[in-house]
């Protein structure tokens, strides 16, 4: 366990459509059945303030949002969630599952939007205050699979971005995940069940009974 808290922090990362929300739900259900006390969070969101920020970020109301402003908004949501939900939960020994976390900003606002990577990381550091996930899963899908899964769905403000944006985000994810300790790359294009099985297998290996 990385943090000095009795709980366990699991992060799911990936392109939109990679299955982070699906897998967060499946993992939470499994762990609850195993008797763990689980908190499911998402970014942006996870708190009331975060949900309000999420609306600004994802609803396309035609309001101009500069890349740097976008980054700050994500950090607002993150800073609030870490202090209001993540740390208190970890102190109580809960298993926290976060659908996206700091690496998302490196991939999307850094590699995707072009903000210098070290700047994104400095702001992440301020927002999370040194907290590191115990394990980060990156669900890798290619751009074709992403397009397929988003077909027929109303895209949010970020999802309206072009293939080229997502190509940079994926490259960013692949580079960052390789360099990140306690990270696991999973082929997100296999079936939901298969992805879930791989995640659960790894969590079972890593988790220290927080009860």
Ligand X SMILES: Nc1ncnc2c1ncn2[C@@H]1O[C@H](COP(=O)(O)OP(=O)(O)O)[C@@H](O)[C@H]1O
Site residues for Mg ion per CB under 5 A: 21
Q: Which is nearer to Mg ion, 49 or 58 (CB)?
A: 58
Q: Which is nearer to ligand X, 14 or 110 (CB)?
A: 14
CA 68 to chain CA centroid, nearest Å = 19
CA distance 124 to 12: 17
Calculated CA dihedral for residues 133, 90, 208, 37, nearest 10 degrees? -120
**46 binding ligand X? (CB under 6 A):** no
DSSP state of 94: P
Q: Which is nearer to Mg ion, 16 or 134 (CB)?
A: 16
Positions in 107-166 near ligand X (CB under 6 A):
149
- Core vs surface per residue 163-173: b (16+ CB within 10 A) or e: eebbebbbebb
Q: Which is nearer to ligand X, 178 or 192 (CB)?
A: 192
Q: Please give the structure tokens belonging to residue 160.
A: 């309206």
Positions in 159-198 near ligand X (CB under 6 A):
191-192, 195
Instruction: Find the binder of ligand X among 7, 8, 19, 102 (CB under 6 A).
Output: 19
Contacts to ligand X by CB under 6 A: 14, 16-22, 149, 191-192, 195
């Amino acid at each position: 366990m990385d943090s000095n808290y009795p709980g366990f922090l699991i992060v799911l990362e990936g392109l939109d459509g990679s299955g982070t929300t699906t897998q967060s739900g499946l993992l939470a259900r499994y762990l609850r059945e195993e008797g763990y006390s689980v908190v499911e969070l998402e970014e942006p969101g996870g708190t009331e303030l975060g949900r309000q920020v999420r609306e600004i970020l994802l609803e396309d109301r035609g309001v101009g949002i500069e890349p740097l402003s976008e980054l700050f908004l994500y950090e607002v949501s993150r800073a609030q969630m870490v202090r209001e939900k993540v740390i208190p939960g970890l102190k109580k020994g809960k298993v926290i599952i976060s659908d996206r976390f700091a690496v998302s900003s490196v991939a999307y606002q850094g590699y995707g939007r072009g903000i210098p990577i070290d700047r994104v990381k400095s702001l992440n550091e301020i927002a999370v205050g040194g907290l590191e996930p115990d394990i980060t899963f990156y669900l890798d899908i290619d751009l074709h699979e992403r397009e397929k899964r988003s077909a027929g769905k109303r895209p949010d403000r970020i999802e309206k971005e072009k293939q080229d944006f997502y190509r940079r985000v994926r490259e960013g994810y692949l580079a960052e995940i390789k360099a990140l300790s306690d990270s696991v790359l999973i082929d997100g294009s296999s079936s939901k069940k298969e992805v879930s099985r791989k995640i659960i297998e790894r969590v079972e290996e890593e988790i220290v009974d927080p009860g």
